[in-house]
Amino acid sequence: EAQVTQNPRYLITVTGKKLTVTCSQNMNHEYMSWYRQDPGLGLRQIYYSMNVEVTDKGDVPEGYKVSRKEKRNFPLILESPSPNQTSLYFCASSWQTSGSYTGELFFGEGSRLTVL
Amino acid sequence: AQSVTQLGSHVSVSEGALVLLRCNYSSSVPPYLFWYVQYPNQGLQLLLKYTSAATLVKGINGFEAEFKKSETSFHLTKPSAHMSDAAEYFCAVSDIDFGNEKLTFGTGTRLTIIP
């Protein structure tokens, strides 16, 4: 089954304790991205990756890091989480073939993070 | 930058009634527009998309949307609401930096179906 898998789905942590949210897709997609969803703000892009070893900032990258060492995986790293990073996080992936635009993102089920 | 505005954060309709969710976009170039649906505790899934072909776009589960350039609108409709349509709906516009298939989302509309 084609899917984007995120872990953990739920996490409560404390300020300053490093954490990683993993994301894996089995569709051989080149493009991957992280969004955060907050009430009244919709979804905002954190980071994206066009391919292995190619990453760039989205609209709200502060406090986050990513890496793309393998095509299927795109972990989101919070080096020193703070309460304002309490949010619902989504990983998404998409085809990208020679610059053609598909417009369809495939989303994971989300990871709800609470930072105390 | 492109943006979308969804009018009404909460919409309630009776089962069997017309569903109308409003979305207006701001774009300096012909946009790609999308509607996504989010069911409780799930990720978003694509309902339908407009990519400059037909202005009336049909999607899954009986939903459709009409692109109206003169009104900069892309409203989502369904003739007869079903209980299973209860979800949150997001309108989105593409903001195509080369290689970044970023979608700019609206703030969402939560649809409640009244039995």
Closest-CA residue of B relative to A104 is B46
Give B39's Cβ-side CA count (13 Å radius).
7
Asked if B90 and B83 count as a contact pair (C-beta separation under 8 A), the reply is no
Q: List beta partners, residue B23.
A: B6
CA A110 to chain B, closest CA, distance in angstroms equals: 6
Q: Rounded to whole angstroms, how far apart are CA atoms B94 and B72?
A: 14
- CA atoms of B26 and B95, how far apart (whole Å): 11
Q: Which residues is B113 bridged to in the sheet?
A: B13
Residue A79, amino acid: E
Nearest to A103 among B43, B44, B51 (CB): B51
- Each residue of A16-54: pLDDT tens digit? 999 999 999 999 998 899 999 998 898 999 999 988 999
Q: Per residue of chain B (115 residues), what is the pLDDT tens digit?
A: 778 999 999 999 999 999 999 999 987 676 789 999 999 888 899 999 988 778 899 999 999 999 998 899 999 999 999 999 999 999 998 866 666 677 889 999 999 999 9
Collect all residues of chain A within an 8 Å Cβ-Cβ radius of residue B94: 101, 103
Show Cβ contacts of residue A100 under 8 Å, excluding neighbours closer than 6 positions: none
Interface membership of B96 toward A (CB under 8 Å): yes
Contact B102, B95 (CB under 8 A): yes
